[in-house]
Every structure is written in structure tokens, then in C-alpha cells.
Amino acid sequence: MASGRDIKRQIKSIQNQKQITKAMEMVAAAKLRRAQEAAQASRPYAEKLKEVVDSIASGTRDVKHPMLEKRPVKKTGYLVITSDRGLAGGYNANVLRKVTQTIRQRHKSNDEYVLFVIGRKGRDYFNRRNMPVMEEVTGLPDAPAFADIKSIAYTSVKKFAEGAYDELYLYYNEFVNALTQIPVEKRLLPLEDMSGSGTATSYEYEPSPEGVLEVLLPKYAETLIYTALLDGKASEFGARMTAMGSATKNATKMVSNLTLTYNRARQAAITQEISEIVAGANAQS
């Protein structure tokens, strides 16, 4: 059994860790609020852009664009959003497990797919398994701007349009609330046929509807990636807040249990000393 001094040292160590996890929980809670606001603020732009694209597609006969055309799938692209740091519960593990299981089911060799990765955790995970990462982005700020991922978003969309692969899937954690983040798969490209989903809004286009569509479709796909990133950031901070909250509660329980053990050991030591004193006094009488 550990000595009283060892138990007190362990209690002090856990109390220090508790202070750290409590502080991290509070920081994550503050960042979560800002991340939620950023994710909500990005949605009107994405919705308006989709409305304009729908309007063009529905008002133009025989719409043809590489991003709308389905073709035989010979190669698939995956864009995976993870975090740079850990201590976020199952945030990274859940989405990485989902994409890995999907790849194993769909593909027999590394030549049949390619990966785009946002976040250090995802990059390191795929590199350790020698999985083909075409492009990566790490070191994103807590409130990322579109410029921070513009390169990877542009490249992933452009490579599809050029025929480097025939499908592009997006993997990220969808934010539900601070306790729940759901790893999801969304097919980003080819975009769903929009020719029949336009709104009644009338627009005038210059130079032509087809020319505007040529510019807007890549922008729309890139906007979907950025919106998913903001949703993923909110999920990351929600997961970290929950994980640090659980760690703080566990630390409190451990300190309580160790304090009880320490008091019992101290009481046993006092009782033994009293017994020895009484025994010594009886021996002298």
C-alpha cells in the first residue's frame, strides 16, 4: 500500500491536472460559441449561391458541365477534415475510422483513390498507413478564413473537372450540439442534377448563363468545402469541451477517492501508534 506521502503527492498532481482540464474546457466553450456563429453566418451565402446556380441550370436547356456529368467511376477522391490537435475525445478517430472503412470496402489498391486532408491528425494518420495524400493543409487558425483552404479546395475541384478522378467525397464531423458530432460522408462532385430544381427568381446574365455557370459551379463546390470546415471546427470545440469536462469530473472523483484512502491510512497509522503506546504502558506497569 502506498505511503501517506505518496498519496498526497498523487493528489497534488491530479489537482494540477484538473486545473488544466478545467481551463481547457472553458477555452473550448468560448471558441465553440464563435465557431457556431461563423458556421451559421456562412450558410446564407451558400444558400444564395445555390439559388443562383439552380436558376441558371433550370433556365438553360441541355446544361453541360464536367462538374454535373456522371461518368464511370475508375478513381475516387476523398477530402477529409480533421483537427491539428488532439484532446478532443473521438472527434478525429470517428471520422478517420469511417473514411478508412469506406476505402477498404470500395477499393482494392491505392491506385483507385486519392486523398486531400485538412488537419495534422488526418495527415499523420494517412501517412503512417502509406495512403496516397495528394494535398494537405495544416496549422489552420481557430477561426479559419476561406483563404486558408483556398488552395486545397481549388485543387480538389479542378482535378475532378480535369478527369483525375470521377467522384469526390467530403468527410467531416457534422455539428449537432456540444455533446454530439456525427461523422458524415457527402458526395461533393459530381453535383446533383440541378436542371429541374430552379427557383422562380428571374436573373439577367452577362455574358451568358453558360458563362456564369462555368464560374459559379467551382465556386459553389469550394463554398461547400468551406462550410463543412466551419461545421467541423464547431464540432472540434464541442468535442474538446465535452472531453475536458469529463476529464475534470474524473479528476474530481480521483481526488475524492485518494483523499478517502489517505484519511484511512492516516487513521490506521494513528490507531497503530496509540496501540503501541498503550502496549508499552502496560508492559511497564
Q: Are strands 133-137 and 167-177 parallel, antiparallel or unpaired?
A: unpaired
Q: How big is the CA angle at 82 (ends 140 and 180), to the nearest 5 degrees?
A: 115
Which of the four pLDDT bands, split at 50, 70 and 90, describes residue 198?
very low
- Would you state the pLDDT for residue 43? 83
What is the biggest distance separating any 2 CA atoms in the chain, rounded to whole angstroms? 115
Q: Phi and psi dihedrals of 90, rounded to 5?
A: -95, 20
- Interval 210-269: pLDDT, tens: 777 788 888 889 999 999 999 999 999 999 999 999 999 999 999 999 989 888 888 877
Percent of the chain with pLDDT over 90: 60
Distance CA 145, CA 147 (A): 5
Distance CA 222, CA 158 (A): 10
- Would you state the pLDDT for residue 264? 84
Cell numbers standing for residue 184:
458524415
Domain ranges of the chain: 4-26+243-284, 39-240
Give the sheet arrangement for strand 113-118, strand by strand. 133-137, 113-118, 76-81, 167-177, 180-189
Question: 39-240 has which CATH code?
Answer: 3.40.1380.10
Q: Could you please state the CATH topology (level 3) that the domain comprising 4-26+243-284 is classified under.
A: Helix Hairpins (1.10.287)
Distance CA 179, CA 241 (A): 9
67 vs 13, which has greater pLDDT?
13
Cell numbers standing for residue 201:
427568381
Alpha-carbon separation of residue 121 from 124, 128, 240 (angstroms): 5, 11, 14
Domains 4-26+243-284 and 39-240 share a fold: no
- Interval 87-146: pLDDT, tens: 999 999 999 999 999 999 999 999 999 999 999 999 999 999 999 999 999 999 999 999
Measured N-to-C along each axis, helices 120-128 and 91-106 cross at an angle, to the nearest 10 degrees, of 40
CB 232 within 8 A of CB 30: no
Distance CA 48, CA 170 (A): 21
pTM of the shown model = 0.85
